[in-house]
Amino acid sequence: MRTTTLTLWLGLLATPLMAAPLKWHTDYGDAYRQAEQNEKFLLVSFHDEEKSFTPPSEMRKALEPFVLLKVSTAATITVDTEEKSLLDCACFRPLKNQPGLAVINLKYRDEKYTRVVTTLSLDEAQRSSVRVLQFLEEPERELGPALLKDEFGLSWHTNYGAAYSEAKQAKKLLMLAFDSDNQRFVPGKMQVPLLRGCVLVRLRVEDSRELLSHPGLRQFHGDAGIGVIDLKNEGTSYGRVVNVLPAEYLNNKGTEAMLKLAQGKTDLPKLEWLTDYHQARQQAERQERMLLIAIDSDDEAFSPKSQSIPTLHGYVLLRQRIGTEYKDKDDSRLLVQFADFQPLRQKPGLVVYDFRSKDAPHYGQVVGVMPYKYLGSNPGNRVFSEEEREREFLALEPNTLTRRILTWAIRVSKGHGRTTRLRSADGRPDSRLMTWALKNSQLQCRYGCGHHAGGPMRSEIASTGPGDDIVDGALNMVSIWRGSPPHYSTMVRYHREFGYDMAPSSSHHWYGTGRF
């Protein structure tokens, strides 16, 4: 979540340069008594000679509800005149005598008063800064009044049902924020006035698997992001998710555009289109973002639907003409003749580079192509609306070209009924399942025919005829699967995790596999 990482969160909470350092107690008894007297949580940080938790001073806002205590893993405590290791106490056993964090509830006088309510190993804390923030929220989330206050004074529900009921009764928009261990939504100051008019709920992906499997929340695809449910305006959109921003494409302008669209406003933040290919690549690489290139002709040009604008703000954007030339060594060539653009077949359309996934094999490569004809009014192959096809393409999770295009084809294709959805790709793409799907697709290429690899997981496999391009091949493949009852029965079911991939054979047939 590019603008919702810990870096931005810390920036929003930045304190004056001369702010006093955080105060850490070193005596367990003193810290315990102070937390008890002030009705605060006691945060105990266990360290050894090699590992220690030292939060930056900018995290002080998140630490305000706590009295802070830092002790060694060798620290002892006297119990009934007997000295024993503090970590040997039953309440700290989840830390397994290793460095880590623990929170004792001395704030809420309920059945968990004086008890350790949550722990976090230091290894886990070091792997994910966002996880530390969630850890610090957990005591209030579990014991408090089910409302979390953020640094802007906004109140966030932690229960979906309660938030939905309030929004419905108050006739307001319901703003959803699903956070994961590595991704957390934090609004910018400009979005706060818009958020004050909504009922807000913040949930953890890991705790919301069943909720995220609901058809109404399918656009989240089981992962982190933000969205809006309209419980304000009577009409066809009432009670529905009207927009979703996946974590990968989330930024402040996109959030503002999404909220304004949901509120019926038209003054959306303007998209910024670059005009130079090399400049756009450099900017996308520097900002670690996806790069979207719109290649227009005299007859076809990309005019994004309003519902796509929030997601587009998460890209670096470049607009080019079909006849645009760039130097290639000593000669000049059309941009669409570059090897990277070969899947577009020199047609007007969209091209996506991934400069976000720095450690992935597809980093810096083309991971999306979409000739404009497949976003138009009559592409055939029984697909959903132009708006939905465009939105699903722009919101695809980072991955390889073949995986993204086949996933897109599943998500936008209709089932046997006019509104029936093929839900097999509504969950989270799983890298392990996708690797198996690719291997089986390549195996089919070698065999020259459809082949089921077998095993404990269900697979759906087919060979298309020659496609005009990769998108045509993917849509034809889905059409063939749709006509096979065993394959169709798997495609219409929801799977929490899935893996789709496809491969071209030497005879220009496409072979694909789905694993669940």
pLDDT at 57: 64
Would you say residue 267 lies in a domain? no
**257: which residues sit within 8 A by CB, 6+ positions away?**
268, 269, 309, 310, 313
CA gap 260, 257 in Å, rounded: 5
Would you say residue 246 lies in a domain? yes
Nearest of 404, 414, 301 to residue 354 by alpha carbon = 404
Tell me the pLDDT band of 292, cut-offs 50, 70 and 90: very high
pLDDT at 100: 94
Tell me the pLDDT band of 4, cut-offs 50, 70 and 90: very low
In this structure, the answer to whether residues 190 and 335 fall within a common structural domain is no
**377: which residues sit within 8 A by CB, 6+ positions away?**
386
In this structure, the answer to whether residues 106 and 29 fall within a common structural domain is yes
Would you say residue 41 lies in a domain? yes
In this structure, the answer to whether residues 117 and 151 fall within a common structural domain is no
Would the pLDDT of 476 be above 70? yes
- Highest mean pLDDT of the ranges 10-19, 42-51, 364-373, 377-386: 364-373
pLDDT at 142: 84
In this structure, the answer to whether residues 219 and 285 fall within a common structural domain is no
Q: Residue 30 is encoded by which pair of tokens?
A: 């003193």
Nearest of 129, 126, 178, 160 to residue 428 by alpha carbon = 178
Would the pLDDT of 458 be above 60? no
Would the pLDDT of 9 be above 70? no
Domain range for 22: 6-133
pLDDT at 20: 63
Share of the chain above pLDDT 70, in %: 91
Would you say residue 138 lies in a domain? no
Specify the pairing of strand 155-157 against strand 147-149.
antiparallel
pLDDT at 118: 94
Task: Mark which of 133, 164, 197 sits at the end of a domain.
Answer: 133
pLDDT at 148: 85
Task: Mark which of 262, 281, 313 sits at the end of a domain.
Answer: 262
Question: Quick one: DSSP state of residue 3?
Answer: T
- Highest mean pLDDT of the ranges 14-18, 129-133, 214-218, 379-383: 214-218
Report which of residues 57 and 172 the model is more confident about. 172
Tell me the pLDDT band of 55, cut-offs 50, 70 and 90: confident
What spatial distance separates the first Cα and last Cα of the chain, rounded to whole Å? 26
In this structure, the answer to whether residues 185 and 288 fall within a common structural domain is no
Tell me the pLDDT band of 464, cut-offs 50, 70 and 90: low
Tell me the pLDDT band of 2, cut-offs 50, 70 and 90: very low
Would the pLDDT of 510 be above 90? no
Average pLDDT over every residue of 16-36: 81
pLDDT tens-place string over residues 415-450: 999 899 999 999 999 999 999 888 888 887 776 666
pLDDT at 149: 86
- Highest mean pLDDT of the ranges 73-77, 317-321, 509-513: 317-321
CA gap 62, 55 in Å, rounded: 10
In this structure, the answer to whether residues 328 and 426 fall within a common structural domain is yes
Tell me the pLDDT band of 58, cut-offs 50, 70 and 90: low
Would you say residue 1 lies in a domain? no
* Residue 486, phi then psi, degrees to nearest 5: -65, -40
Average pLDDT over every residue of 44-58: 86
* Residue 217, phi then psi, degrees to nearest 5: -110, 20
In this structure, the answer to whether residues 124 and 184 fall within a common structural domain is no
- Provide the mean pLDDT of the chain: 88
In this structure, the answer to whether residues 66 and 185 fall within a common structural domain is no
pLDDT at 278: 95
Q: Residue 416 is encoded by which pair of tokens?
A: 């046997």
CATH value at residue 207? 3.40.30.10
Share of the chain above pLDDT 90, in %: 66
In this structure, the answer to whether residues 165 and 288 fall within a common structural domain is no
In this structure, the answer to whether residues 19 and 99 fall within a common structural domain is yes
Average pLDDT over every residue of 58-76: 87
- Highest mean pLDDT of the ranges 22-31, 61-70, 300-309, 431-440: 300-309
Would the pLDDT of 466 be above 90? no
In this structure, the answer to whether residues 326 and 440 fall within a common structural domain is yes
Average pLDDT over every residue of 23-48: 93
Our CA dihedral for 293, 294, 297, 302, rounded to 10 degrees, sits at 180
Task: Mark which of 133, 155, 174 sits at the end of a domain.
Answer: 133
CATH value at residue 120? 3.40.30
Tell me the pLDDT band of 302, cut-offs 50, 70 and 90: very high
Number of domains in the chain: 3
**128: which residues sit within 8 A by CB, 6+ positions away?**
181, 182
Q: Residue 313 is encoded by which pair of tokens?
A: 């703000």
Would you say residue 364 lies in a domain? yes
pLDDT at 407: 97
pLDDT at 146: 77
C-beta neighbour count of 188 within 10 angstroms: 17
CA gap 371, 349 in Å, rounded: 4
- Highest mean pLDDT of the ranges 75-79, 218-222, 440-444: 218-222
In this structure, the answer to whether residues 281 and 375 fall within a common structural domain is yes
Would you say residue 224 lies in a domain? yes
**223: which residues sit within 8 A by CB, 6+ positions away?**
178, 180, 205, 212, 246, 247, 397, 428
pLDDT tens-place string over residues 120-162: 999 988 888 788 888 988 888 888 877 888 888 999 999 999 9
Average pLDDT over every residue of 404-413: 97
Torsion sign across C-alpha atoms 4, 5, 7, 13:
positive
Tell me the pLDDT band of 491, cut-offs 50, 70 and 90: very high
Average pLDDT over every residue of 385-409: 97
Give the 3-state secondary structure of residue 52: coil
Would you say residue 293 lies in a domain? yes
Would the pLDDT of 303 be above 70? yes
pLDDT at 462: 63
For the chain, the 3-state helix, strand and coil shares in percent, each to the nearest 5, are 35, 25, 40
* Bridge partner residues of 321 (DSSP): 296
Tell me the pLDDT band of 305, cut-offs 50, 70 and 90: very high
